[in-house]
């Protein structure tokens, strides 16, 4: 595999740019919105997931939508969201939006492809804007580290879009861990076996070329910091997720919704080794058709060493525990089996709570009153972010928390790309047995004209 990469020291912390954005000469610190005021929100990325997400924020009384931004504004892709916010100023370039309306914006929602989260979020934080960013935070380990540091430096409220982290699974996992119900976990099987967009592509040996850029599209801004590639429908309209250069595959997409509470409440941190146990259709351009990746974690305090096996691919199913009672696995429902010394837990994704299996065992524990059940009334993920912008709550998945999860996901993506066993130094944040893997922690040099986001 030919990989050309620039070392972290050359792009990471070489100094602070004095010209962060058009018309902006200095950084700004965060300010919080008054208790009786609305949060002026800018929304970046309107199609696909953005369509649903903008609707969720629109329902919050404390939100005032002041700007819409999408590189394909005026297309069928953005039409529904645009119609929901008549009269709100529209932009194709987030830099122009910040230049013209920066003083009117309190917070931004970033709902763009994975590769473009980084420059938008870094620019927003440098201007003192609170940021809700879809998951995962960024495509590379290094970009995530820079985002975590910037969030702390600028003092902004941050939230990643793994919305289940404000749901029943979050409060249950927290309470059950604190009560000693979830303890001594030694192994996890997590799986996502649904069809993925790139599965029909088969062997890919080059990027697609020769397609005309739609008249509504600003392709240069869509590419952002990424290396230049010609426009293709195999990239835009959601297909970007399957390409190494732009997305994080099935694991980056779904791992954020399934491993989040484990990563947080079992204090996983980062793995000390990763092994690609299965790679079907391994490719230099797109993610495998199926993969099984093993993550090894050392003992943490009074928690024993444990490992996670991740399974994706339509036929690449995990082994089923005896406690499952011979039932078949619903391959259209992602999930996980958590094995501890005392219990086996089964869960699905997002906000859905865990069950102890067999369920008869859980029913008996419920009868005994041994399982915490009342988690109180809590804000959802979107309201939690808005309340944090007003200084009234702390976000549940700030970059300090979601960054570690996103970095775990990025390491898994490197394993899917390279195969074999990779040894990782958790203190130095480096692989000890692969030069190429270390280069992939940083990723490709930013495209000319986009370098400044790495020093904000």
pLDDT of residue 9: 32
Encode pLDDT of 353-371 as tens digits: 999 999 999 999 999 999 9
Encode pLDDT of 85-132 as tens digits: 999 999 999 999 999 999 999 999 999 999 999 999 999 999 999 999
**Percent of residues, the chain, with pLDDT higher than 90:** 90
The residue ranking higher by pLDDT, 2 or 26, is 26
18 has a pLDDT exceeding 60? no
Mean pLDDT of 435-448: 97
Mean pLDDT of 275-283: 96
20 has a pLDDT exceeding 80? no
85/179 same-domain check: no
- Is 1 inside a domain boundary? no
Determine the Cα–Cα distance for residues 377 and 362; give it in Å rounded to an integer.
24
> Whole-prediction pTM value?
0.94
- Is 132 inside a domain boundary? yes
The residue ranking higher by pLDDT, 254 or 30, is 254
130/267 same-domain check: no
Q: For the domain that residue 324 is a member of, what is the CATH number? A: 3.30.360
158/186 same-domain check: no
322 has a pLDDT exceeding 70? yes
pLDDT of residue 287: 97
Number of folded domains that form the chain: 2
Q: Could you tell me if 82 and 68 are in contact, meaning their C-beta atoms sit under 8 angstroms apart?
A: yes
Return phi, psi of residue 430, to 5°. -145, 150
Encode pLDDT of 213-233 as tens digits: 999 999 999 999 999 999 999
171/74 same-domain check: no
pLDDT of residue 246: 97
282/140 same-domain check: no
Burial annotation 402-434 (CB, 10 A radius, 16+ → b, else e): bbbbbbbbbbbbbbbbbbeebbbeeeebebeeb
Task: Tell which residue, 144, 135, 188, has the closest CA to residue 411.
Answer: 144
pLDDT of residue 27: 59
Measured at the CA of 250, the angle between CA 249 and CA 254, to 5 degrees, comes to 125
The chain-wide mean pLDDT, for the chain, equals 93
- Is 350 inside a domain boundary? yes
Encode pLDDT of 339-356 as tens digits: 999 999 999 999 999 999
Mean pLDDT of 44-56: 94
144/279 same-domain check: no
Q: Could you tell me if 197 and 242 are in contact, meaning their C-beta atoms sit under 8 angstroms apart?
A: yes
- Is 156 inside a domain boundary? yes
188/317 same-domain check: yes
pLDDT of residue 30: 75
pLDDT of residue 35: 86
Q: Which run of H or of E encompasses 411?
A: helix 399-418
- Is 382 inside a domain boundary? no
What totals of helices (H) and strands (E) does the chain contain, helices first? 14, 15
- What is the spatial order of strands in the sheet that 421-425 belongs to? 355-357, 344-347, 335-340, 185-192, 306-312, 290-297, 273-280, 421-425, 430-431
Q: Could you tell me if 81 and 137 are in contact, meaning their C-beta atoms sit under 8 angstroms apart?
A: no
Mean pLDDT of 374-401: 97
| Domain residue limits at 264 | 165-200+243-377+399-442
pLDDT of residue 237: 84
Determine the Cα–Cα distance for residues 355 and 361; give it in Å rounded to an integer.
10
């Amino acid at each position: 595999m030919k990989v050309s990469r620039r070392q972290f020291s050359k792009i990471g912390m070489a100094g602070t740019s004095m010209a962060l954005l058009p018309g902006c000469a200095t950084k700004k610190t965060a300010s919080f919105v008054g208790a009786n005021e609305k949060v002026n929100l800018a929304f970046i990325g309107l199609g696909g997931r953005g369509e649903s997400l903008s609707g969720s924020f629109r329902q919050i009384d404390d939100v005032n939508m002041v700007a819409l931004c999408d590189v394909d504004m005026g297309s069928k892709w953005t039409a529904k969201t645009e119609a929901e916010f008549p009269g709100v100023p529209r932009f194709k370039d987030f830099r122009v939006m910040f230049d013209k309306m920066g003083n009117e914006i309190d917070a931004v929602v970033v709902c763009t492809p994975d590769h473009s989260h980084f420059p938008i979020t870094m620019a927003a934080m440098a201007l003192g804007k609170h940021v809700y960013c879809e998951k995962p935070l960024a495509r590379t380990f290094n970009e995530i580290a820079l985002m975590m540091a910037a969030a702390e430096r600028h003092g902004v409220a941050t939230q990643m879009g793994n919305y289940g982290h404000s749901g029943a699974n979050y409060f249950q996992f927290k309470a059950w861990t604190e009560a000693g119900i979830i303890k001594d976990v030694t192994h996890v099987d997590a799986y996502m076996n649904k069809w993925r967009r790139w599965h029909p592509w088969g062997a890919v040996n080059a990027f697609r070329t020769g397609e005309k850029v739609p008249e509504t599209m600003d392709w240069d801004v869509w590419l952002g910091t990424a290396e230049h590639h010609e426009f293709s429908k195999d990239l835009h309209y959601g297909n970007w997720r399957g390409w190494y250069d732009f997305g994080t595959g099935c694991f980056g997409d779904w791992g954020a919704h399934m491993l989040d509470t484990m990563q947080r409440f079992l204090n996983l941190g980062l793995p000390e080794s990763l092994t690609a146990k299965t790679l079907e259709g391994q490719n230099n351009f797109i993610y495998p058709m199926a993969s099984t990746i093993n993550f090894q974690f050392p003992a943490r305090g009074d928690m024993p060493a444990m490992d996670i096996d991740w399974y994706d691919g339509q036929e690449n199913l995990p082994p089923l525990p005896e406690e499952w009672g011979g039932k078949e696995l619903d391959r259209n429902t992602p999930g996980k089996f958590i094995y501890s010394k005392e219990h086996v837990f089964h869960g699905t994704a997002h906000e859905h709570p865990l069950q102890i299996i067999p369920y008869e065992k859980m029913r008996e524990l419920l009868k005994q009153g041994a399982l915490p059940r009342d988690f109180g009334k809590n804000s959802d993920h979107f309201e939690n972010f808005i309340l944090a912008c007003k200084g009234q709550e702390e976000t549940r998945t700030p970059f300090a928390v979601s960054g570690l999860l996103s970095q775990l996901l990025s390491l898994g993506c490197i394993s899917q790309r390279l195969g074999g066993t990779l040894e990782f130094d958790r203190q130095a944040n480096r692989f000890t047995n692969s030069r190429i893997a270390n280069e992939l922690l940083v990723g490709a040099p930013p495209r000319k004209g986009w370098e400044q986001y790495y020093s904000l």
